[in-house]
Amino acid sequence: MKKLLFMTLVALNSQYLFAQKKPNVIIIYADDLGYGDLGCYGATKVRTPNIDRLAKEGLRFTNGHTTSATCTPSRFALLTGKYPWRKAGTGVLPGNAVMIIPTDKPSLATVMKKGGYQTALVGKWHLGLGDGNEIDWNGSIKPGPNEVGFDYSFCFPATADRVPTVFVENHTVLGLDKNDPIEVNYQQKVGNDPTGKEHPELLKMKSSPDHGHDNTIVNGIGRIGYMKGGNKARWTDEELAYAFTERAERFIEENRQKPFFLYFALSDIHVPRMPATVFKGKSGLGYRGDAILQMDWTVGRITQKLRDLGIDKNTLIIFSSDNGPVLDDGYQDEAVTLQNGHQPAGPLRGGKYSAFEGGTRVPWIVSWPGVVKAGQTSDALMCQVDLFASFAKLTGQALGEDDAPDSFNMLDALLGRTPKGRSWLVLQGGSLSLVQGNFKYITPSKGKKLMELVNIEPGNDEMPQLYDLGKDIGEKDNIAAQYPEKVKEMAAELQRLKTA
Q: Per the omega criterion (within 30 degrees of 0), is the bond before 164 cis?
A: yes
The secondary structure of 158-172 as a DSSP string is: S-TTBS--B-EETTE
Instruction: Name the binder of 268 from ligand NG6, Ca ion, none, CB < 5-8 A by kind.
Output: none
Which parts of 171-322 fold into alpha helices (H)?
A: 240-254, 287-308
Tell me which residues in 22-41 interact with ligand NG6 (CB under 6 A): 31-32
Question: Quick check: 237 binds ligand NG6 (CB under 6 A)?
Answer: no
| CB 345, min distance to Ca ion, A | 14
Does residue number 161 form part of the binding site for ligand NG6 (CB under 6 A)?
yes
**Widest pairwise Cα distance in the chain:** 82
DSSP 3-state helix, strand, coil percentages of the chain (rounded to 5)?
Answer: 30, 20, 55
- In the shown chain, the binding pattern of residues 414 to 443 toward ligand NG6, with x for contact by CB under 6 A and - for none, equals ------------------------------
Sequence-distant (≥ 6) Cβ neighbours of residue 63 within 8 angstroms: 361, 378, 379, 380, 381, 382, 421
Asked if 249 interacts with Ca ion (CB under 5 A), we say no
Judged by beta carbon distances under 5 to 8 A according to partner kind, the member of Ca ion, ligand NG6, none in contact with residue 479 is none
Write the CA distances from 418 to 314, 371, 388, 467, integer angstroms. 21, 13, 19, 26
The number of residues that bind ligand NG6 (CB under 6 A) is 16
Distance (Å, whole) CA 327 – CA 4: 63
Q: Sheet harboring 439-442: ordered strands across?
A: 424-428, 432-436, 439-442, 465-468
User: Using the rule CB under 6 A, which residue among 268, 329, 457, 461 binds ligand NG6?
Assistant: 329
How far CA 143 is from CA of 81, 128, 172, 315, 384, in Å, comes to 20, 9, 11, 30, 24
Give min distance, CB of 77 to ligand NG6, in A: 13
Shortest separation between residue 354's beta carbon and ligand NG6, angstroms:
12
| Shortest distance in whole angstroms from residue 159 CB to ligand NG6 | 5
Question: In 3-state terms, what secondary structure has residue 499?
Answer: helix
Q: Which of 159, 298, 390, 431 binds ligand NG6 (CB under 6 A)?
A: 159
Between CA 255 and CA 432 the distance in angstroms is 41
288 contact, one of Ca ion, ligand NG6, none, CB 5-8 Å limit per kind: none
The yes or no reply on residue 296 touching Ca ion (CB under 5 A) is no
CB 88, min distance to Ca ion, A:
20
Euclidean distance between CA atoms 392 and 326, whole angstroms: 33
Q: What's CA 359's distance to the chain center, in Å?
A: 13
Residue from 147, 161, 322, 357 binding Ca ion (CB under 5 A)? 322
Under rule CB under 5 A, residue 158 binds Ca ion: no
Residue 120 found at the interface with ligand NG6 (CB under 6 A): no
Q: Which residue is nearest to Ca ion (CB)?
A: 71
Structure letter (DSSP) for residue 367: E
Instruction: Assess contact for 194 and 202: CB atoms under 8 A.
Output: yes
For ligand NG6, the binding residue among 19, 40, 92, 190 (CB under 6 A) is 92
Asked if 195 touches ligand NG6 (CB under 6 A), the answer is no
Tell me phi and psi for residue 252, to 5 degrees: -60, -45
CA angle 322, 71, 253 (to 5 degrees): 60
Q: What is the C-alpha to C-alpha distance for residues 442 and 253, in angstroms, rounded to an integer?
A: 46
Strand, helix or coil for residue 335: coil
Q: Which is nearer to ligand NG6, 161 or 296 (CB)?
A: 161
In the list 24, 66, 67, 70, the residue contacting ligand NG6 (rule: CB under 6 A) is: 70
If the CB atoms of residues 335 and 394 are measured against ligand NG6, the closer one turns out to be: 335
Structure-derived torsion over alpha carbons of residues 64, 335, 269, 376, reported in degrees to the nearest 10: 30
Q: How far is the CB of 265 from ligand NG6 (least distance, A)?
A: 11
Stretch that binds Ca ion, among 23-31, 139-147, 238-246, 419-427 (CB under 5 A): 23-31
Choose the one of ligand NG6, Ca ion, none that binds residue 90, judging by a C-beta under 5 to 8 angstroms depending on kind: none
- When asked if residue 211 is in the footprint of ligand NG6 (CB under 6 A), the reply is yes
Rule CB under 6 A: is residue 228 a binding residue for ligand NG6? Answer: no
Rg over alpha carbons for the chain, rounded to the nearest Å, is 22
Binding of residue 329 to Ca ion (CB under 5 A): no
Window of 13-21, 168-176, 323-331, 484-492 that interacts with ligand NG6 by CB under 6 A: 323-331
- Smallest gap from Cβ 362 to ligand NG6, in A, equals 12
271 near ligand NG6, judged by CB under 6 A: yes
- For position 321 contacting ligand NG6 by CB under 6 A, the verdict is no
Binding mask 27-46 for Ca ion (x = CB under 5 A): ----xx--------------
Which residues bind to Ca ion, rule: CB under 5 A?
Answer: 31-32, 71, 322-323
Residues in contact with ligand NG6 by CB under 6 A are: 31-32, 70-71, 92, 126, 159, 161, 211-212, 224, 270-271, 323, 329-330
